[in-house]
Amino acid sequence: MNILLRYVLFLILSFSIFNHGYCVPLHEGRVLSGIDVLQQENFSSIRGKHIGLITNHTGMDRNGKSTAEVLYSASGVDLKAIFTPEHGFSGSASHGETVGSSTDPATGLPVFSLYGKINRPTPEMLRNLDTLVFDIQDVGVRFYTYLTTMAYAMEEAVKAGIEFIVLDRPVPINGNMVEGPIKDPSIQSFVAHYEVPIRHGMTPGEIATFYNETKGLHARLAVVKMKGWKREMWFDQTRLPWIPTSPNIPGLENATLYPGIACLEYTNLSVGRGTPIPFLWIGAPWFQPEKVLKILEKAGLKGVTFLSRELTPAGDVYANQKCRGIEFKITDREQIRPFQVFVHIICALRDTQPENFEFRWEKSRFLIGSQEFAELYEKKVPPQKIIKKMDISTWQFMKKRKRYLLYK
C-alpha cells in the first residue's frame, strides 16, 4: 500500500467534521428519521389508510424527497390532504405572517394552512380521513410553534375519532439539556401551550406522548421512532441533511442560542432578524454595548464569548437603522446555557440602561412563561439568584419527563 493511500485511509478513519468551532465526531451509521423508518417498514403502519399529512419543507427523507411525495407515491397509501404550520409549506413566510391555503403543485393535493385565521384542522378538513400523520423538524424550544400545531391537531383528531401518527425527528440542540422555567398553567397562547421548560430536550414523538398522557387526551397515538438517534447527539452528528427550520433559523448555531436570545423578542431590542446572524446578535440604536459587555465578561458564562458589533437590520425591528450591539460566539456548545445568557443580559440592561430598555412583560410572559421570573426581575434580584430559582422547576420537570422518553 503506497504512502498516499495509507494517508487517505488514516484521514477517513480519524475524520471529524469541523463546523462553526465544533469538533463533530463521525458516528457509525446514520440516523434514520421517522419517514425513513416508515419506508424501511414498507409503510405497514399506514397501508390502506386515508391520510392527512401535517408537514412543511423540513419533512424530507434522507435522500431529500419530501414526505408528501413519498407518501403520495407509496403503494397502498392514500394521501388525501396536506396541512402546514407557521411559515407555510415552503417554510418561507415571515415570522408571524398569516399563511393561506393552497394546492401542492407536486401532488395536486389541497394544502390547508393551520397558521392564520384557522389554527386547527376543521371537521370539514378531516372529512374522509382516518389518520393524521405529523412530520416536521422542530428545534426543541417550547415557544417554537410547530409543536403547538401538533397539539391542536391531536386534539381535533380525538374529536374526529381518527388516529394520530408522529414520524419522529431529532432534537437539533440535543435531547439531554433542559433549561428555563416550566410554563405557568395560567399563561396560555399559541406560543405558550405546553407546560414544559423553555428548552425541553424532547422529540416531537416524546412531546406527543407526554401531552397525550398528562392532558388525558386518550388520542390513538403512535410514534414511528427513529433509528440510531441518541440523546447526546447534536443535529450535525446525525448525518441527516440540515434544512433551515424557518427563515431565521438558517443553521445549527442560530438554533443553539435561540432558547435564550429569543426570550428578548418582545423587548425593544433587535434579536438579529433581518441581519446575517439572527439570534447570534442583539442590538438597538440606543444600545450601549460596552456597559453590558463589562458585566457579561465578569459573569463567567461558559461556552460563549461576546464582542461589540454594529449592524443595520434589513427588516423587522429597527429596519434600516444602524444599531450598536453584541455578537455571540459559541466556543463550546456542550457548556453554553442560552437561558442563563438571556438572564444575565436582561439584568445587565435593567441595571445599566433602565432609561432606554423596555421589558414588555405582557408579551414576554408568553416566551418566558413564569410570573415568578417577572417578580424577581422587577425586584432587581441578581441574575444568579433568578437562575437558581428557575432551576427548581427545571429539575422537577427532568424527573417528570423520564417516563416519556423514547430514546437513551
Cα gap 56→175, rounded to integer Å: 22
Share of the chain residues as helix, strand and coil, in percent rounded to the nearest 5: 35, 20, 50
In this predicted structure, what is the pLDDT of residue 313?
98
In this predicted structure, what is the pLDDT of residue 124?
97
Of 387, 90, 91, 336, the C-alpha closest to 234 is: 336
Q: Is residue 283 over pLDDT 70? A: yes
More confidently predicted of 4 and 39: 39
Distance of alpha carbon 51 from its chain centroid, rounded? 25
In this predicted structure, what is the pLDDT of residue 15?
35
Taking phi over 0 as left and psi of -120 to 50 as alpha, with beta for the rest, 274 belongs to left
Q: Is residue 203 over pLDDT 50? A: yes
Q: b vs e for 5-39, b when ≥16 Cβ sit within 10 Å of the residue's Cβ?
A: eeeeeeeeeeeeeeeeebebeeeeeebbbbbbbbb
* Domains contained in the chain, CATH given: 34-245+400-404 (3.40.50.12170), 252-369 (3.90.1150.140)
In this predicted structure, what is the pLDDT of residue 29?
65
The grid cell for 364 is 414576554
Element (H, E) at 376: helix 371-378
In this predicted structure, what is the pLDDT of residue 96?
87
Cα gap 205→223, rounded to integer Å: 6
How many other CB atoms are found less than 10 A from the CB of residue 278? 25
pLDDT tens string 317-371: 999 999 999 999 999 999 999 999 999 999 999 999 999 999 999 999 999 999 9
Q: b vs e for 176-196, b when ≥16 Cβ sit within 10 Å of the residue's Cβ?
A: ebbbbbbbbeebeeebbbbbb
Phi, psi (degrees; rounded to nearest 5) at 353: -135, 50
Length of the chain in residues, anyone? 408
pLDDT tens string 128-161: 999 999 999 999 999 999 999 999 999 999 999 9
User: For 400, how many CA atoms within 13 A lie in the half-sphere containing its CB?
Assistant: 18
